[in-house]
Structure 1
Amino acid sequence: NVTAQAYPHLLVTTGLHDSQVQYWEPAKWVAKLRELKTDDHLLLLCTDMDSGHGGKSGRYKSYEGVALEYAFLIGLAQGTLPGQA
């Protein structure tokens, strides 16, 4: 459940072709969080237009998702993400 409170920095990822969690479900969740959150922390949604429930297929393509997550975490640690409070 989403309540009016402070949330940590979040990077939410989804795949357009996910048969288990439809792409609009994370989008609606992020919209609700943005409406109710009481802080200025980052709340990012990344929808991959080519992936499904297991992420991207292929070894090198799957590295792209991991790289995105690492970049987000490193950016938080270094304080270099745009809009970071």
Structure 2
Amino acid sequence: MRVSIVNAPGENSYPIAGYTYLLVYKDQKDKDKGTELVKFLWWAIHDGEKFAEDLLYAPLPDNVVKLAETKIKQINYKGEPLYK
């Protein structure tokens, strides 16, 4: 998943910006650890977003959240999706 926010439109947009990325194996080797990872990632892009403002981070745009949701739903253990 690649998204760029450099030189975003808008009067209050900062010209130099970026995302923090996580590299995650799509096929997990441990079901329990993979399940917890999926729960954390889902939390991070939803409920965890409320902590971003206090740290002066901008919230994720809706299209980025949707892309991340799609990727998280692809994480599996032996072909079984771990997102429930």
Shorter-chain TM-score tier? 0.3 to 0.5
TM-score by length of 1: 0.38
- Decide which structure has greater strand share: 1
TM-score by length of 2: 0.38
